[in-house]
Amino acid sequence: MIGRRAFLGSAAAALATFSRGALADVVYLANPGGWRSFEVTTRLALESNGAATQAWVPLPSFVADEWMRPTAEDRWTTNAKSARVVRDPRYGAKMLHLSWAQGEAAPVVEIVSRTTTRDRSRAPRPATLGAAERRLYTSPTALIPTDGIVKQTSNKIVGGASSDEAKARALYEWVVENTYRNPSTRGCGRGDIAGMLKTGDLGGKCADINALYVGLVRAQGIPARDLYGLRAGKSQFGYKSLGVNTEVATKAQHCRAEVFLAGSGWTATDPADVRKVMLEEPPGGLTLADERVAAARKALFGASEGNWIAYNSGHDLELPGAASSRIDFLMYPQAEIAGVRCDCLDPDHFRYSITAKELAA
């Protein structure tokens, strides 16, 4: 059982500036100004030995007019016998479903998508959420229950907080202070939050840490969701750990989180990236007291940088025509050869690559 740590005092840490090598006075200060455009190319080259093969590739489908806009129809080239865009009926998660004829020894597809993004910051505005959307984003999923140990832990953290704002912030600070980024976690993690709480091991990556936050928030009846996507560009705030510094983005998947607050609508949160800064920002092993960590911690409740694209917010997704079971979330290409699911976290053997290129303004 996890004991509650004192954290509220440090929650109000002031936004700090810092120097990084040749960079002068860098600060995490999201500014919803200009838009950034990215072109993402996903290529699968499978070795099927002529067996019947299928693939499902996530496409950018999340739209938020203020900060995320897929800008054009996806285009692809392939030797598949069929290729069609499909959507999950519950979340609207968009994917390209491909099927290759038996006997095709070298299934291949290349998909190009373009998305325009910009920074997010929190702006006061009245907001309401429809009943159906509220139910969807307060409901439990297979790996994100909202009862039992999740509810018990959530209640202890929020204590006497009465407003959704106070509860969401208390939960954010608790997750920042009590989790850790585990570099040995495969991919982005799985997000088995009840298992994390029961064992007391709150280590993992973004799909674990941000899912924990989402579950703790939903346990209070407050809408929250994971957004699954891809880091597509460098950080303009000087954080090497919070961007991709080459066009190779094959292993740059990242999920962010949102909480719905009546005073600001869907509000960006990312406790996992605070922990990523602590572990990975040079020279590594930073503490919560470090100025770079404090700056990210303050900013990442309410703001985010526009160097990342969102695919979808789906959980427990069925892949059309798949022989295997549903997937926890769709952030990686998926494939089946002869009815056997490929390991999506092993792109060297599954053989896929992703590149992300920032386009000129």
Q: What is the pLDDT of residue 263?
A: 92
**Rounded average pLDDT per 10-residue block, the chain, 361 residues:** 36 33 59 93 95 97 95 93 97 97 96 97 91 98 98 97 97 98 97 98 98 98 98 95 96 98 96 98 96 96 97 97 94 96 92 96 70
Paired tokens of 309 = 């694209």
Q: Which residue stretches of the chain are H helix?
A: 131-136, 148-158, 164-178, 193-199, 206-218, 271-280, 291-299, 347-350
Task: Give the separation between CA 302 and CA 258, rounded to whole angstroms.
Answer: 9
Q: How much is the pLDDT for 123?
A: 85
Nearest to 55 by CA among 96, 94, 104: 96
Cα–Cα nearest to 256, from 282, 278, 236, 226: 226
Query: Contact at 8 Å (CB) between 192 and 212?
Result: no
Residue 56 near residue 333 (C-beta atoms within 8 A): yes
Distance CA 187, CA 334 (A): 14
Residue 228, SS3?
Answer: strand
- Tokens linked to 93: 């998660």
Domains of the chain by start residue, with CATH: 37-116+315-359 (2.60.40.2250), 119-305 (3.10.620.30)
CA 290 – CA 12 distance, rounded (Å)? 14
Please tell me the distance from the alpha carbon of residue 183 to that of residue 204, in angstroms, as a whole number.
8
E-only strand ranges, 74-140? 75-78, 82-87, 94-100, 108-117
pLDDT of 10: 32
pLDDT of residue 334: 97
**Residues 8, 353: Cα–Cα separation, whole Å:** 43
pTM: 0.92
Distance CA 237, CA 162 (A): 35
Which residue, 181, 265, 174, is CA-closest to 215? 174
**Ordered DSSP codes for 330-346:** --S-EEEETTEE--TT-
pLDDT at 26: 55
